[in-house]
Homo-oligomer: A and B are copies of this chain.
Amino acid sequence: MKLSQKVESMHLSPIRKFYPYADKAKAMGKKVYGLNIGQPDIETPREFFDAVNNYNADVLAYAPSNGLPILAEAISGYYRRIGVMFEPEEIIITNGGSEALEMIFNSIIDDGDEVVMAEPFYTNYDSFVKQAGGKLVPIKCTADDGYHYAERAKIEAAITDKTKAIAIINPGNPTGVVLTKEEMRLIADIAKEHDLFLICDEVYREFVYDGLEMSSFAEFDDIDENLILVDSVSKRFSACGARCGSIATHNKDLFVAFVKFCQARLCTATLEQVGSAALYNMDPSYFHDIKKEYENRRNVSYAALQEIEGIKCAKPQGAFYITCQLPVDDAEEFLIWMLENFDIDGETTMFAPAGGFFGTPGVGKSDIRIAYVLKAEEMQKGINIIKEAIKAYNAR
């Protein structure tokens, strides 16, 4: 009884596979700063819990396959407020942004098809593309160029006759790169010229700093057939455990394809949709303080990283991640060593080695991703531990 080739080609999450080492450090009584995963410590708005607790039904029934109408309407209203038009009937509710990506790749990819994406990429994209039988082809970027990818030559170098889509996370995970409007236009043009789907994951849309304007690929009105817009409550409303994502598209054939997957898996959790509708109906002023908080954490984290001698790091302008290259040969080995051997006053740090975020062989071994999801002083302490650990590690 053999397993499938597609599951054999998949890997355990490079973000989560170091948990056993962190657990061991905790079991030894150490405090571990968790900078490895995008799980914010920001409180989930009470609106979510209130809506769930007020839900009044004797039978917790299946929701409609495409999602509860109240949630699709709430998302449509949210889009309208940011100047983007999707009817509720053009929106599909998914089990987190993750299921959105699964449905998208399964709808457009057959064995051997390719998806182009900037490197380093959020590693789960690689899993979802492989799961669908396809291959993620990287747009090659490095720490030296600040992980900027929005150049015609770089992108077109990755496109072949097997390419089905360009996938973009903007603001970026794991790099925090935010595209300018001109760069977005360029990418839209390339998708049109090469007849490619354009998968735009904008779950960090509100989290842009330095006075930048947030924007959406859905503002372009000439890519209706290409565009597949992915959103989620996880980061936007600090509600990762709600698993409530969405897909919006004007492409009617694609929409029917998604509905097939929706109907096959019946629906997503009813209560979570009720709670998420309350989140999307909140006043947009909610984001004001959250954004200021993240911007401060970004500033503190970036400044702390600059203290590390030999680090290569560009200042991110959005989302809540920083990818950087550490002055160590192998970030995975360094992380394991740090968790097992290094602490300052009983405290140590967990980050995500970014090797699994790169598709180009041999690239990214020294790169790591940090999520600035903890309070500023904790970020500072956690990064300082990395700094001191590197000194000790390289002096062994």
Which residues of A approach B to under 8 Å, CB–CB?
A: 1-7, 10-13, 16, 37, 39-44, 48-49, 52-53, 57-63, 65, 95-96, 98-99, 102, 106-111, 113, 124, 127-128, 131-133, 164, 195-197, 225-226, 238-243, 253-254, 256-257, 259-261, 263-272
CB pair A102 B265 closer than 8 Å: yes
Cross-interface CB contact of A61 among B2, B241, B254, B263, cutoff 8 Å? B241
A27 to chain B, nearest CB (A): 16
The list of the 7 closest CB pairs from A to B, nearest first, reads A241-B270, A127-B264, A13-B263, A98-B265, A60-B241, A44-B60, A7-B257
Give A277 to B60 CA distance when docked, in angstroms.
15
Kindly state the separation between the CA atoms of A63 and B238 in the bound complex, as whole angstroms: 14
CA distance A128 to B264 in the complex (A): 7
Contact among B4, B5, B63, B241 for A271, CB-based, below 8 A: B241
A241 touches B267 (CB 8 A): yes
Q: Nearest chain B CB to A369's CB is how many angstroms away?
A: 16
- A259: min CB distance to chain B, Å: 7
CB nearest to A14 among chain B residues: B263
With both beta carbons as reference points, the residue of chain B lying nearest to A43 in the complex is identified as B58
A259 vs B13: C-alpha distance when bound (angstroms): 9
Q: B16, B59, B263: which contacts A42 (Cβ < 8 A)?
A: B59
What separation, in Å, do the CA atoms of A239 and B259 have in the docked complex? 23
- With beta carbons under 8 angstroms apart, the residue of B1, B113, B269 that contacts A225 is B1
- Identify the closest chain B residue to A254 (Cβ): B3
- Report 8 cross-chain contacts, Cβ distance below 8 Å, ordered by A residue: A4-B106, A16-B263, A40-B59, A41-B59, A42-B59, A44-B59, A59-B238, A106-B131
- A108 contacts across to B, CB distance below 8 A: 1-4, 7
| A226 cross-chain contacts in B, Cβ below 8 A | 1
Given contacts A10-B260, A48-B60, A243-B268, 15 further A-B pairs with CB under 8 A are A1-B108, A1-B196, A3-B107, A7-B107, A7-B257, A12-B263, A13-B263, A43-B59, A44-B58, A60-B239, A63-B241, A95-B95, A131-B261, A242-B270, A269-B271
Q: Write the chain B residue with the least CB distance to A258.
A: B7
Residues of chain B lying within 8 A (CB to CB) of residue A267: 241, 243
